[in-house]
């Protein structure tokens, strides 16, 4: 089976998905279920993802559009989880 597995987060949800051929749908659903229910990561995998997240945070901080959008959300949704940036503070990642 050839497929592409990925995930993304927004302020409102986190999504995990697989792009695969329709004939592979049962196996793709089984794989997603296994990932969600039996997730285990090695320290090296966690460190690799930590580096990716920190790099994305630096890119977001360098983007005027992203900075303004984060301030807009922080102001418009004060006191709610929607006021937080998707990636949260860098202290949570380190």
What's the token pair of residue 30? 């089984």
Q: What is the mean pLDDT of the chain?
A: 91
Q: Is 79 left (phi over 0), alpha (psi -120 to 50) or beta?
A: left
**How far apart are alpha carbons 61 and 78 in whole angstroms?**
20
Residue 87 confidence (pLDDT): 84
pLDDT of 73 strictly over 90: yes
Our measurement of the distance from residue 59's CA atom to the centroid of its chain's CA atoms, rounded to an integer in Å, reads 15
Question: What beta strand segments (E) does 1-94 contain?
Answer: 3-9, 14-20
Band of residue 88 on the pLDDT scale cut at 50, 70, 90: confident
**How far apart are alpha carbons 44 and 40 in whole angstroms?**
12
């Amino acid at each position: 089976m050839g497929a592409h597995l990925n995930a993304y987060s927004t302020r409102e949800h986190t999504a995990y998905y697989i792009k695969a051929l329709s004939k592979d749908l049962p196996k793709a659903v089984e794989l997603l279920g296994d990932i969600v229910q039996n997730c285990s990561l090695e320290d090296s995998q966690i460190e690799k993802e930590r580096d990716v997240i920190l790099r994305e945070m630096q890119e977001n901080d360098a983007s005027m559009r992203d900075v303004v959008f984060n301030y807009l959300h922080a102001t418009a949704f004060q006191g709610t989880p929607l006021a937080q940036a998707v990636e949260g503070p860098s202290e949570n990642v380190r």
